[in-house]
Each structure stands twice: as structure tokens, then as C-alpha cells.
Structure 1
Amino acid sequence: MATHRFRPTRYFSVIGAAEPCLRVADGDTVVTDTIDASGLDAREIAVGSRPNPMTGPFYIEGAEPGDTLAVHIDRLTPSRATGWTYSPLALTVLEPAAIKDRPSSERHVWEIDGEAGTVRLREPVRGLEDFSPPLQPMIGCFGVAPAGGQALSTATSAQNGGNMDYRLFAPGTTAWFPVSVPGALFYLGDGHACQGDGEIVGTGIETSFEMEVTFRVLKRTISWPRGETADDIFTIGNARPLDQALQHATTEMSRWLGEDYGLDARAASHLMGQVVRYDVGNVFNPAFTVACRIAKRWLTKL
């Protein structure tokens, strides 16, 4: 098991089959840089020019179609002291009658204080002069190449992962992705210094990061992304409308409870019906994201 330090010179705005930037072994760790859309002007963009530039793809030796790639998020460190967001709230989260009253779109700069562990508007708007939420780094967009030779925009998400903007994709979490091509071809980027559920203004606090992740190849098959934290397991559905994303996430959780915890469909329904929690990921971009989450304390005796 080795640690690789990779400095990218090009970035991708799609997730798909491309020449690997680095080949690593099962169990290896990669430390690499990611940039947000504000860093594109002076950088080479390998495919396209829209936001969410991805670093990658990383080829993981031994990963074959039908396997699962487990990606442990070891560390996410902002590499500059500012980030940015937009206001106001997105059209997708407002009642139609309220849209006409929205203020104009504006870009706002945030100060990132790594020592204090907080973020703050550089020019606070009225009423938010003392607003200083915690620094909570997360990965907005990451995943593996999809099946069928597709290349999916980093604006959206699907079974391969992508732009999910789910807050639990943070340090300490292990994310699982279904492998569809040899080597998995893993991409990552879109680091957020902080973000509420849903990415409801169209961005988190976008900034550049140094990211550290560790790969494991699991000889098992999953259909949708999964994840595990110290306290929870969760499954991800990506689709539009929102209820379809919820259906994918719920079905994947039921499968997981059967495969790893020995619960048949009826037992899984009893458990899920009482203790499941649903979290909203991205509700701004073309595909919405729903996470189906269960606390591990309910699974310890299974």
C-alpha cells in the first residue's frame, strides 16, 4: 500500500472513459489537488468548460465491472482562504408565485478561517454581521465512469455518482461506487467549505482543496452509491423527480440489509419503517439526490 502525490495539469467537466492520469493499486492512497470553477481561466480544461472541474481519472488496479470501489475520504483541506457562493435561493426550491419576488443573482465571497474553523461573508449583508458557521469540508462531485461508454456532465449525477452535493461525503466517510469499466476510472472535485442540505442556492462555498482518499476494491456488486460513517450507513438515489431518487435509495438500502444483515424484505421493511432517515442532497441540478440513512446502533445485534 502506497501513498501517491498527484498534481493535476488538466481537469474534466464530464465523468467518463478517458486516459488515466495515474494508476494505483488496491489499498493505495492518493493526495491530490482540486479546483473550483474560479480557477479555470489559467488551467487546461480537457473536456468542456462548465463548472465542477474534476481531477482524474484514477485507474485502480484490479477493479473490474461488477465490483465495488470503496473510497475512504481521509482528509479535505481548503487550499486557499476564500470561497464563493451565489444568492438568492434557486428556482427549484421556491413556490412558483415567489419567483417573481426574487432579488437578482449575486456572487459573494466568503473568508475561510482554517485556524478558527469557521467561514464568514467578506461583506456581510444586513442581519448577518455575526453569522459565522463552522468550516465543514465536503466533496460535492465524485464518482466512477458510467457504463455503456457514456460521459456524464459534472452538473448531474446517476448510478456512477457525480454531482450529488451530499453533506455526509466528508472526512471519515467511506463512499462505495458500482464499477462499470476496468480500473473504475475515478474522478473527484467540487470541494465545498460549507453547505446546507440541498445546495439550495446553486453552490456550496466553492473553493480549491487538497484531498486525500484511499481506495479499496470490493468483490461485490451494488446498484447505487452507498456510504458509511462512524455512526450510519446510507444509500444514494440520483434522479428527477425527487420521488424517483428516493425510490432508488430505498430499494438499495433494502438490498443492503438483506445482503449484509440477513433481513428479508418483510424484516427490512419493519426496521426501515421505524428508524430510516432521509436526507436531501442536490436539488438544484438536473438530477436530484436523496440519501436513505440508518444509524448503526440499530444494526449492531443483527
Structure 2
Amino acid sequence: MNLPDIVSLTPGPEEYAYTFGGRAPLVTVQPGTVVELTTEDCFGGRVRGFGDLPSQVCDFPYLNPVTGPIAVAGAEPGDTLAVHFVEITPARDWGVSSTFPHFGALTGTHTTALLHPPLEERIWIYELDTAAGVCRFRARNSDFTAELPLDPMHGTVGVAPAAGETLMSITPGAHGGNLDTPEMRAGTTAYFGVNVPGGLLALGDGHARQGEGEVCGTAVETAMRTTVVIDLVKGGGPAWPRLENDRYLISTGSARPLEDAFRISQHDLVGWTRALLGLDELDAYQLVSQAGLAPAANVCDTNYTMAAKLPKSLLGRAHAYDGLHERLRATATAYLRHR
């Protein structure tokens, strides 16, 4: 097959975005383009040791920088922007995680008001061994250590919201944003509904790994070198971000309370399954109820995010977006073979 166009994007600190919407694109690409890009970690690279507390070294609210926006030629509201992750590789041999006084699933926040004292602000430094494929955890107050599998992914991926809205990059929603799902790894294709001309894709918040739920509020945060293939489907824009890998269809939903995020993701997956298999609504509902999975993505952000997964083995000859995921996988293989 013919090699795709390749564009490189390495923004400087002054070029990072902290919102979805409200910014002009850094670059415009044609559908089918491979984009090689770099991203900074959620702390802007400022947390490098145990003494670098985010409250002291970071400029609030300038957290969670994203690379972009990237405009896609021909993308119009109502279309579907497809983003296939070819490679996600840590750009450093270390990552950081932290607890925040008023952030995370197991502490009081501004919306969960509690009388007990806030959690301690504490930093953990992880050694990232890409050759061995591990993140090395070391407890701060004992000699305990553990090797966790390296599983690079992007916590924040999305497009500009509709109606001229501007949302902070830390917020997940129908536009994508800070979904924090570990499913957003290499080999995954993400689908976003286009809301503005060009779509205006941006991504960042690289995680060397993250547990489901991102319970403490941060993953193993690190800068990334990432390659994506960006494509466009005319029409068919999903109401909420969808993902596809070789084994699963995945719908997402972001809201508070958590059960509404769950309902959104399940509702979308039932509708997607119904359309692909030609089932009536209750048959699709029954199938998803018995065969689906429901991992938590995040329970710490400004909105919570749930994922709903259905095995593709149930689809028979049906293919989401006419087999676009498989075609983008072939493009990724050709790129990796000839680079």
C-alpha cells in the first residue's frame, strides 16, 4: 500500500493548550495523515522529585497541557473524526504520581464537603524500564517495592466542543477530553463527533500505566512520544466518544453522579450494537446486559467516566464504521515497516 503523509508536531511550552475549544489549530492535516507528536505530562514537567509539590511548583489552573489543536481538512459538524494510536512511548525513564489535598476518589473535595482534614500532598517517583516493560513502584514509608506492567496510554484526547464552548482540558465530556480510560492505548481507534469545522483534535496527559478508576487522582504521569493516524468519516458523528480495538467495541460516558456516566456509556453501546446487528432495542439491551463489561475509567475528575465494552466476536460479519479500524491498523503497520 502507499505510505501515508507524515507530519511532525513538537510544540514548545508556550504552544501547549489547556482547553478544548477557543484556540486556533497548530497545524491542518489531510484525512489519513500520520502525525508524530510529543506531549508533556499533566504537571508540565515541573514535578521531578519528592519535594516538588504540585501546589508549589505548578501554576493553577494551568495543569494538564495538551498538544494541538490539529485541524482535519474537510471535517464538518456531524462528521466522525477517527484517531488510531500507532505508538505511545514514554519520553523519559521516570514518571510521577501524587495525592492532592482535595482531589481523588477517597478524599473530600469542593463538591464532597467533609469535616476531616485533607489528605497529605505526597509524591511518588516511578522508574520506567521500557526494555523490561515495567514501572517500578517504591513505597514512601517502607521498603516495599513492586514491578507493574508498563501500559502507556493517553488520559486526555478530544475535539473542540460544540456551540463555541471552551472547556478546561481536565474535564471529560461528550467532546472527549480527560476521559482517563486505560483503553486509550496503542492499537486503539477512538471516534469523536465533530462539532466545529476542522474538528480540532488535541491530546496529552500521558500515563505510563493507570489502574481503572484512577482512584487517587493521578496515574504514573510522564511525557510521551506518540504516533497517530487521523482519518475522517463523513457523517455519523457519535454523541459520545467511542473506542475500538481488535477485541472490543467500547462506548464512554462522562457525568456526575457515576451512575449517570454508567447509563450514558451503556445506552450508547446498546444503540451501537442495535445498529450494527439490526436488532430491536430490547434484544440489543439484552445482549449487552449479558455479554458486556463495564470498567471505570475515572472517578476523580470534574466529571466521572465509565466505559462499556462488547466483544467483537459477537458481531459476525458486521464492522463498525465499515471496517475503518482494520484499515487504520494496516496503515499503522505500513508506517512502522517503512519508517
Taking structure 2 as the reference length, what is the TM-score of the superposition? Answer: 0.82
Aligned residue runs from structure 1 range 112-131, under 5 A? 112-121=128-137, 125-126=141-142, 128-129=144-145, 131=146
The counterpart of 1:259, out of the listed 275, 279, 284, is 275
User: Partner amino acid for 1:213?
Assistant: V
Q: Which residue of 2 aligns with 1:107?
A: 123
Partners of 1:149 and 1:27 lie apart in 2 by 27
Structure having the higher strand fraction is 1
> Are the equivalent residues in 2 in contact too, given 1:89–1:201 (CA < 8 A)?
no
Shift of 1:56: 0.2
Partners of 1:296 and 1:218 lie apart in 2 by 21
Q: Which residue of 1 aligns with 2:25?
A: 20
1:157 aligns with 2:172: yes
User: Partner amino acid for 1:290?
Assistant: M
Q: Which residue of 2 aligns with 1:44?
A: none
Partners of 1:53 and 1:200 lie apart in 2 by 21
> Are the equivalent residues in 2 in contact too, given 1:280–1:289 (CA < 8 A)?
yes
Partners of 1:120 and 1:40 lie apart in 2 by 19
Aligned residue runs from structure 1 range 1-302, under 5 A? 1-9=4-12, 10-39=15-44, 49-87=61-99, 93-94=105-106, 100=116, 104-121=120-137, 125-126=141-142, 128-129=144-145, 131-219=146-234, 220-300=236-316
Shift of 1:94: 3.4
Change (3 A) 1:69 1:128: same
Partners of 2:309 and 2:101 lie apart in 1 by 26
> Are the equivalent residues in 2 in contact too, given 1:17–1:185 (CA < 8 A)?
no
Partners of 2:76 and 2:210 lie apart in 1 by 34
Per-residue CA deviation, residues 227-250 of structure 1 (Å, 9 max, x unaligned), is 101111010001111111111111
> Are the equivalent residues in 2 in contact too, given 1:15–1:162 (CA < 8 A)?
yes
Q: The residue matched to 2:275 in structure 1 has which SS?
A: helix
User: Partner amino acid for 2:254?
Assistant: N
Per-residue CA deviation, residues 118-156 of structure 1 (Å, 9 max, x unaligned), is 111366542622x01011001000100000101111111
Per-residue CA deviation, residues 173-216 of structure 1 (Å, 9 max, x unaligned), is 00000100011000000000011011111111111001111111
Q: The residue matched to 1:278 in structure 2 has which SS?
A: coil
Partners of 2:224 and 2:115 lie apart in 1 by 34
Q: Which runs of 5+ in 2 are unaligned?
A: 47-58, 109-113, 319-339
> Are the equivalent residues in 2 in contact too, given 1:12–1:48 (CA < 8 A)?
no
Q: The residue matched to 2:148 in structure 1 has which SS?
A: coil
Per-residue CA deviation, residues 35-78 of structure 1 (Å, 9 max, x unaligned), is 0144366xxxxx98421101000000111100111100111011
Shift of 1:17: 3.4
Partners of 1:123 and 1:195 lie apart in 2 by 17
The number of aligned residues is 296
User: Partner amino acid for 1:292?
Assistant: A
Partners of 1:178 and 1:267 lie apart in 2 by 26
User: Partner amino acid for 2:164?
Assistant: G
The farther-off stretch of 191-200 and 113-122 is: 113-122
Per-residue CA deviation, residues 247-279 of structure 1 (Å, 9 max, x unaligned), is 111111122112222121021012012111111
User: Partner amino acid for 2:18?
Assistant: S
Q: Which runs of 5+ in 1 are unaligned?
A: 42-46
> Are the equivalent residues in 1 in contact too, given 2:155–2:204 (CA < 8 A)?
yes
Taking structure 1 as the reference length, what is the TM-score of the superposition? Answer: 0.91
Change (3 A) 1:114 1:89: farther
Q: Which residue of 1 aligns with 2:332?
A: none
